[in-house]
Amino acid sequence: MKPPHRTTTLGYALLGLLHQQPRSGYDLRKIFDTTAMVHFSGSPGAIYPALRKLEQAGLIRGSVDRRTSLRPRQVFRPTPAGTRALHVWLSRPVHRDDVIRRMDELMLRFAFHSLLDDEGATASLLRGFVREIDDYIPDLRAQLAALPATTPTTARLALESGLDLYRARSRWARRALAHFGA
Amino acid sequence: MKPPHRTTTLGYALLGLLHQQPRSGYDLRKIFDTTAMVHFSGSPGAIYPALRKLEQAGLIRGSVDRRTSLRPRQVFRPTPAGTRALHVWLSRPVHRDDVIRRMDELMLRFAFHSLLDDEGATASLLRGFVREIDDYIPDLRAQLAALPATTPTTARLALESGLDLYRARSRWARRALAHFGA
DNA sequence: AAAAACATGTAAGCTGTTACATGATTGG
DNA sequence: CCAATCATGTAACAGCTTACATGTTTTT
């Protein structure tokens, strides 16, 4: 029996992009290199092995395009199991750790959320987002207040910046909620 | 001849914390587990090997505390070479990639910047920060404007959130600049 | 004719994760 | 006395980076 296979954040990013339309490894690399999805590396040493793993896990399937050409390319598309895995991932509830340690993955999840085609689910994700952030903000504020008087100015300002960003995210999510009925 | 040894972001985080005061591996783990420096893992499998590497590179030196006790602890402090390496890192100019792909490291650098005790240098870092962000924002805005009409709402909103955060960072840096004369 | 972009991959090595392992001291 | 915290580490593994490797097609 195979080990369970944990899909990485990069794996879900690839799965989500392939759900939009079938693409080759090269297409995916270009996206990571040229769009705002820059925090993923478009290096071939990351993309091709990740595609291979998704294929082995049965979540995507590749097919050779332009077979006749001397420069063939392989385009990948999600299998039904891949689509299911993507839906499960998108539907995960928001936990405290998602907003503290995995904000990037959480925003990626949100970015692909439309493909669930369920405004209620998206509104629910956003409410979870707001809930966990608003729960965390007082913690940060307390940390700031508890800083010893000797704390260097830049350390204090860096923490204030973090607090600032969480407030900005909370406001953004509240505005975003307006797009989804509830 | 030894290979050059590239200090990782975690390495600089440790070096910076040890510059504030000598600490043990356990002290450092606690900091990562309980304060806003949460995006570093406090797992022993990360901390202890990282300390070992810094020691081998001659950047920190450990000394056994409470030698008599049955529960001794080893406290580390930076060597002169470690302090120099830290200063060089803190003094690096801000590049575009720092604000796009390495924002976390850049903010860590800022958080420790006070230890340079050079308000001019800190102001310069902040000006570089503002410059690169304000240079990047129009790019993001253009990407948003260039999004095809068919782009799913959540994808668009995620990109807007990113833009939002960069604006918040720019405002923060301008406010922070007021603390440093220039 | 050359450069840039297309297209796919492998190999070595480093970092970090997860899980395991051990034992001491302190507080309730 | 038991649980929590103190304190340090190792081993197996996964993942990504960097560098290398190869050849084609399009653009200048």
Instruction: Note the helical H segments in A36-95.
Output: 44-56, 80-91
Q: For helices A9-20 and A44-56, give the axis angle rounded to 10 degrees.
A: 80
A119-145: string of b/e by CB count within 10 Å (b at 16+)?
eeebbbbbbbbbebbeebeeebeeeee
Query: What's chain B's average pLDDT?
Result: 94
Q: How far apart are CA A141 and CA A131, in angstroms?
A: 16
Q: How far apart are CA A100 and CA A110, in angstroms?
A: 16
The string of pLDDT tens digits covering residues B139-154 is: 999 999 999 999 999 9
Count contacts between A and B (CB, < 8 Å): 84
| Under 8 Å between Cβ of B79 and B59 | yes
The string of pLDDT tens digits covering residues B73-89 is: 899 999 999 999 999 99
Residue B9, amino acid: T
Q: CB of residue A6 closer than 7 A to nucleic acid strand C?
A: no
Residue B71 pLDDT level (bands cut at 50, 70, 90): confident
Chain A nearest CA to B110, separation (Å):
6
The string of pLDDT tens digits covering residues B103-145 is: 999 999 999 999 999 999 999 999 999 999 999 999 999 999 9
Neighbours of A92 (CB within 10 A): 13
Q: Tokens in use for A90?
A: 């998108």
Q: CB of residue A46 closer than 7 A to nucleic acid strand C?
A: no
Low-confidence ranges of chain A (pLDDT < 70): 1-4, 66-68, 182
- In 3D, which of A181, A100, A182 has the Cα closest to residue A137? A100
pTM recorded for the entire structure: 0.94
The string of pLDDT tens digits covering residues B31-47 is: 999 999 989 999 999 99
From the CA of A60 to the C1' of C10: give the distance in Å: 22
- In 3D, which of A72, A64, A88 has the Cα closest to residue A15? A88
pLDDT at B83: 98
| Beta partners for residue B75, in sequence order | B24, B63
Q: CB of residue B49 closer than 7 A to nucleic acid strand D?
A: yes
Check CB contact under 8 Å for A154 and B36: no
Check CB contact under 8 Å for B158 and A38: no
Residue of B nearest to A176 (CA): B157
